[in-house]
Amino acid sequence: MKIANQVRITKAMRLSSIFRASISPIALSTILICASTVSAAEPRAAALSVQQQLPEIQIKEEIRDRVQEEVNTAFGRTATLINGLVIALTLLPTAAGVAVWFLFNKLSQQTTIARQEIESLHYDTISQLKLLISDAEGILGEIKHQNHPADAETDLLLPDAQIQEFTPVNYGNYQQLLTAGDYAKQGDACFFENRYEAAIAAYNLALQIQPDLADTWNNRGVVLTRMQRYPEAIASYEQATTIRPQYPDAWNNRGVVLLELQKYPEAIGCYEQAIQAKPDYADAWNNRGVAFSKMQEYEQAVISYNKALQIKNDYTDAWNNRGVALSKLQKYEAAIDSYENAAKIRPDFYRIWYNKARCYALQGKIELAIENLKRALNLNPNLCKQLAKTEVDLEKIREHDTFKQLIS
């Protein structure tokens, strides 16, 4: 502000020097006084303009502060929302994975329960059918005994009845009308009724009419096996495989008979013939494993059981037999896993729990051995007691008080 005044004074002085010659002293002094007056008035005007501008600056600053506050608030809300979305998107796959795992686990449990219920229903249905067949046979026997008295009563009620006699049509011998297939069906029916002699007679009649019935020779061998007439059964299976060399069932059944006769290498040869004819024959693989176990070749047995389980994962006997072989190899944890898989499929099979008890006893796990032995005894008390009394694998728990109480 001082510099500006000095500039104005300098200008005035210059003007005064210019006009000094031409302007009178009075006029010059008048001009100087006016210039000084103007110079003194300008600061007051500037001050007044500054005072007028101060409220405007304050208003602008307040507006700027409010705008900044609103911007900060909006930014904070947006940042919070974005953070929430990021967290949600991060947790969503994890939550979905947990939900899928939970649903899968629940479905697996329900599937296992349903399978067990179906298996139980299957056994119950078979038992009921056997009871119905037994009742039906009893009723048929009673009817046969009551036939003649009923005829006598009829005769007494209608003594004077005139019976119209008709000349019968001669159909010849009824037996000659039956085909080989009819006799074979009769044999099957007799087999399911446990009438083995009648079944053999029907199969023989069928084979007299048509000797090349491979299925009939095989079924005849099955009946003879049930009757423990093993040499005749083997001869029937040989006839079946002679007619049909690639007959897996006949080869497998012949191996079963040879296994009963303790001819283990020959039995293994039959099972391998069955597998060659039908590579996915789970029963033949399982039976091959049993034969190797009988020969104490447990590693080969485990290989056979593994193959059977690859083909049929819910094969109870294969899981149980695999557990026995692994236990003989002292692979106790793997054996326990096999028994547990078998128990999931068929929990009412006493042999699984009995073998599991043996495995725990061999490891010296007394409590677990006793617990599993109890479950086996609940399912089949008489047989399990007899087995436990002489079981070598249970020696470590034989002196245990609970064991003594269980088998007493």
DSSP string spanning 57-126?
HHHHHHHHHHHHHHHHHHHHHHHHHHHHHHHHHHHHHHHHHHHHHHHHHHHHHHHHHHHHHHHHHHHHHH
Summarize the confidence of residues 60-76 as an average pLDDT: 76
Tell me which residue of 354, 347, 404, 402 sits closest to 377, measured CA to CA: 354
| Pick from 277, 279, 280, 275: nearest CA to 291 | 275
Whether residue 324 contacts residue 348, with contact meaning beta carbons closer than 8 Å, is answered with: no
Mean predicted lDDT score pLDDT of the chain: 77
Between 115 and 174, the more confident residue is 115
Distance of CA 321 to the CA centre of its chain: 21
Least confident of 110-119, 136-145, 283-292, 370-379: 136-145
Mean pLDDT over 164-187 rounds to 63
**What pLDDT score was predicted for residue 120?**
47
pLDDT of residue 110: 63
Q: Is the model's pLDDT at 174 over the cut of 80?
A: no
Mean pLDDT along residues 339-346? 96
Q: What is the mean pLDDT of residues 233-244?
A: 97
Higher pLDDT, 368 or 173: 368
Between 274 and 168, whose confidence is greater?
274
pLDDT tens-digit series, residues 119-145: 544 545 554 554 455 555 544 444 333
Query: Which pLDDT does position 63 carry in this prediction?
Result: 79
Mean pLDDT within 47-69: 68
Q: Which of 134-138, 300-304, 321-325, 368-372 has the lowest mean pLDDT?
A: 134-138
